[in-house]
Structure 1
Amino acid sequence: MTGSPSSPADQSSADPVAQTAHGPSGHANAKTMLRPTDTATAPLLSVRDLSKTYDLPRGQSLKAVDGISLDVMPGEVLGLVGESGCGKSTLGRCLLRLTDATSGQILFEGQDITRLSERALRPLRQRMQMVFQDSYASLNPRRRIGDLLAEPLKVHPGPDGRKRTPAVITGRLHDLMELVSLPVTALDRYPHEFSGGQRQRINIARALALSPRLVVADEPVSALDVSVQAQIVNLFADLQAQLGLTYVFVAHDLAVVRQISTRVAVMYLGAIVEIGETDDVLHHPAHPYTAALTQAVPRPEVGALRHPPLRGDIPSPVARPSGCRFHTRCPAVEDRCRTEEPTLQPVRSGHDVACHFPLAAN
């Protein structure tokens, strides 16, 4: 909120693009801290052929998510990146059953949750949480922060299956404030009394209240100043290392994705067009769309563009192009691209791309 006080944690001048292994306050980057181990054979989250279609007037339909399959391993950070309107947020909400998918399958901890009733899904809510983009709209402005954070602790039983006592809840609230670097006095204040970065810390604390394993972060820093973005990304990284969390991190900013993600999936018009280890995908993009996105990231060096920039606007998902969904904007389009839709195929170990003519390694 304009004019709201900022905590010292929100006053760093560091640029997230320039972050290396450690942030401005010595926080370790998630990419250097916690990766899926070789012994982790079972995915924490699996998605198979997931689609979400919205019915529109006049018999039209909008396919926001189109046949996505992926695995998220314990302890990894999967970055979902793409332009606005590509389906990233819808996919994130479908993963947690905040929005029901039209078709496909979602497995969490090996359990099929795709069609579970709300009653059957409720115990699982403790282990899968979401941090939303709009930190202010996510908080009830009429309730104190302490009440907002205490609500999930009152609704869900403790690890022993019993209702938590007021003393236990108070102790947990103090722990949460320490985790997100806010003073305990914040519990007695209202959302409008905080800055945007502080409110996002509160939302993170609420997501962590029940000690989840999986956190879906939906553009959690896009509405923040660059200096505050760096602090919040560092907080996500520290919490991942400290608590052993797994993230699906939704963003349109490749600089943020590069900083925190161990693996990245690039989405375009509802589908994943490239997926692989973050450094491999961003330094050696195989899809023209990924290459154009990486080229759009500001760089201090001066020189010619390595890849042609994006041209035109993203087509309407209501009238998706035939063949390759990117062919209307692709600088290297061929006749085959206009009629035949490519599927994800490996270009290197652990690196898949949906392109008939993938870019050569560079």
Structure 2
Amino acid sequence: MEVRDLRKAYRLSRGQMLRAVDGVSLSVMPGEVLGLVGESGCGKSTLGRCLLRLMDVSSGRILFEGRDITSLNERAMRPLRQRMQMVFQDSYASLNPRRRIGDLLAEPLRVHPDADGRRRSAATITARLHELMELVSLPRTALERYAHEFSGGQRQRINIARALALSPRLVVADEPVSALDVSVQAQIVNLFVDLQARLGLTYVFVAHDLAVVRQISTRVAVMYLGAVVELGETDSVLHHPAHPYTAALTAAVPRPIVGGMRAIPLRGDIPSPVARPSGCRFHTRCPYAQDRCRVDEPVLRPVRQGHEVACHFPLDGPA
């Protein structure tokens, strides 16, 4: 998938515009895990939904498998839905409490035809449901139960199984472990890793926990106020951050993750996306802001191979 200058804005009262996604350009290569990180309200989840066309975009382009899907209507998007799926944050709200798990997992198999364009038989669907239960390490008896009978971690396994039902190539996971206990988080992250290795999946993994992102991601995109401010390979971004915002986030992670990172204070609250600061969107909270930062908006530029940053004065210096 490739995204070019993607924007999503909401028109509010009195003519105000809330720019949730503000000029994002990035690519997701086959078989990689792109981690989207940032504070709450930075636009991560909105971007994830836009990638799958679960909501329309205001401008920009989205290319999936080389095809421009930006303006496709729902009828044209329907065949593509089989190859792109989403795992939502709220494992309970995303499951219909009145239907058995087997019915929920079977629904996409009934709605979408198989590779030959034919409807799947009941036996084929049942066999696939058993495969899905095995993939997410749940017993087959779970298919006869309802969502409220499961723990949060088990429900998230069910959501993962539903996302995998049609054998997609791309899965967007929207903070899939943020509502779980730490021990359960580790199990679900390990499941994502195992499924990627077994099925050759590509992930866009939305999270605010850098320890989780470090464990699963091959590349990281750091978002702030709707834009990507740093992008690169996971180890490079998290161990050698070039943007002060990224450095502040990594400094808040326990020391075993960040090593001897210098601490950078993250002062104040994130500004409103309705009234974004001029120039660099981070300058109101940046301890290194200078006059240029208040006027000129920086663009992503390389600081080292495979590592870009949108900062006039990157911490590691120019490329």
Please tell me the residue identity of whatever aligns with 2:309: V
- Do the aligned residues in 1 keep the contact of 2:175 with 2:207 (CA within 8 Å)? yes
Asked whether 1:339 is paired with 2:292, we answer: no
Q: Does 1:179 align with 2:135?
A: yes
State the distance in 2 between where 1:305 and 1:98 align: 38
| Other-structure match for 2:78 | 122
> Aligned AA for 2:99?
R
Say which structure, 1 or 2, has more relative contact order (CA 8 Å, 6+ apart): 1
Do the aligned residues in 1 keep the contact of 2:303 with 2:316 (CA within 8 Å)? no
Q: Which deviations, in whole Å up to 9, do the C-alpha atoms of 1:54-109 show, x marking residues without a partner?
A: 01011111000011111110000000000000000000000000011100000000
Q: Does 1:266 align with 2:222?
A: yes
Q: In the alignment, which residue of structure 2 is the partner of 1:294? A: 250
Counterpart selection for 1:227 from 173, 183, 199: 183
Report whether the alignment pairs 1:51 with 2:7: yes
SS at match of 2:255: coil
- Equivalent position of 1:42 in the other structure: none
| Match 1:144 to one of 100, 105, 127 | 100
Structure 1 residue 300: Cα displacement:
5.3
Q: 252, 271, 284: which one pairs with 1:315?
A: 271
Shift, 1:238, TM fit? 0.3
Higher mean displacement: 202-211 or 304-313: 304-313
Give the secondary-structure state (helix, strand or coil) at the position aligned to 1:91: helix
Determine the C-alpha separation between the residues in 2 that align with 1:304 and 1:283.
9
Query: What SS does structure 1 have at the residue aligned with 2:124?
Result: helix
Q: Residue 78 of structure 1 contacts residue 262 of structure 1 at CA under 8 Å; is this kept in 2? A: yes
The corresponding residue for 1:21 is none
Q: Which residue of 1 aligns with 2:62?
A: 106
Q: Does the 8 Å contact 2:239/2:261 carry over to 1? A: no
AA aligned opposite 2:150: F
State the alpha-carbon separation in 1 of the partners of residues 47 and 154 from structure 2: 27
Aligned partner of residue 47 in structure 1, secondary structure: strand
Letter in 2 for 1:237: V
Query: Quick check: 1:82–1:267 contact (8 Å CA) kept in 2?
Result: yes
CA distance in structure 2 between the partners assigned to 1:248 and 1:295 by the alignment: 24
Counterparts of 2:28 and 2:259 in 1: how far apart (Å)?
Answer: 37
Q: Could you tell me how far apart the structure 1 residues matched to 2:94 and 2:174 are?
A: 12
Q: Is the 2:211–2:257 contact (alpha carbons within 8 Å) kept by the matching residues of 1? A: no
Whole-angstrom distance in 1 between the partners of 2:113 and 2:241? 46
Q: By how many angstroms is 1:360 displaced?
A: 1.9
The one-letter code matched in structure 1 to 2:9 is: T
- Contact conserved, 1:264 with 1:278, CA < 8 A, in 2? yes
- Asked whether the 8 Å contact 1:296–1:309 carries over to 2, the reply is no
* 1:309 Cα deviation from its structure 2 partner: 2.1
5+ long unaligned stretches in structure 2 = none
Q: 1:339 to 1:197 in 2, by over 3 A?
A: same
Shift of 1:132: 0.2
Quote the residue 2:124 is aligned against.
Answer: 168
Instruction: Tell me the SS of whatever aligns to 1:337.
Output: helix
Equivalent residue number for residue 148 of structure 2: 192
> What SS class does the counterpart of residue 279 from structure 1 fall into?
helix
Q: Deviations over 1:14-35 (max 9, x none)?
A: xxxxxxxxxxxxxxxxxxxxxx
CA distance in 1, matches of 2:75, 2:18: 29
TM-score (norm 1): 0.86
What are the superposed Cα offsets for residues 150-195 of structure 1, whole Å, 9 maximum, x if unpaired? 0000000011210000000000000000000000000000000000
Structure 1: distance between partners of 2:132 and 2:126: 10
* Structure 2 counterparts to residues 40-119 of structure 1, below 5 A: 45-119=1-75
Partner residue in 2 for 1:351: 307
Structure 1 segments, 4+ long, off by >2 Å, are: 299-305
Q: What displacement does 1:299 show?
A: 2.4
Q: Distance in 1 between matches of 2:4 and 2:260?
A: 41
The CA distance in 1 between the partners of 2:163 and 2:13, in whole Å, is 36
SS at match of 1:115: coil
Cα 1:303–1:48 change in 2 (3 A) is closer
Alpha-carbon displacement from aligned partner over 1:307-348 (angstroms, at most 9, x marks no partner): 222111000000100000000000111011011100000000
Partner of residue 168, structure 2: 212
CA RMSD of aligned residues (A): 1.3
The superposition leaves residues 290-309 of structure 1 with CA deviations (integer Å, 9 ceiling, x where unpaired) of 00000011225999861222
Partner AA of 1:106 in structure 2: I
Q: What runs of 5+ residues in structure 1 fail to find an aligned partner? A: 1-44
* Superposed CA offset, 1:210-259 (max 9, x none): 00000000000000000000000000000000000000000001000000
Change (3 A) 1:138 1:110: same
Alignment deviations for residues 8-55 of structure 1 (CA, whole Å, 9 cap, x no partner):
xxxxxxxxxxxxxxxxxxxxxxxxxxxxxxxxxxxxx00000000001
CA contact (8 A) 2:251 2:258 kept: no
C-alpha contact (below 8 Å) 2:239/2:258 kept by paired residues:
no
Q: Percent identity?
A: 84
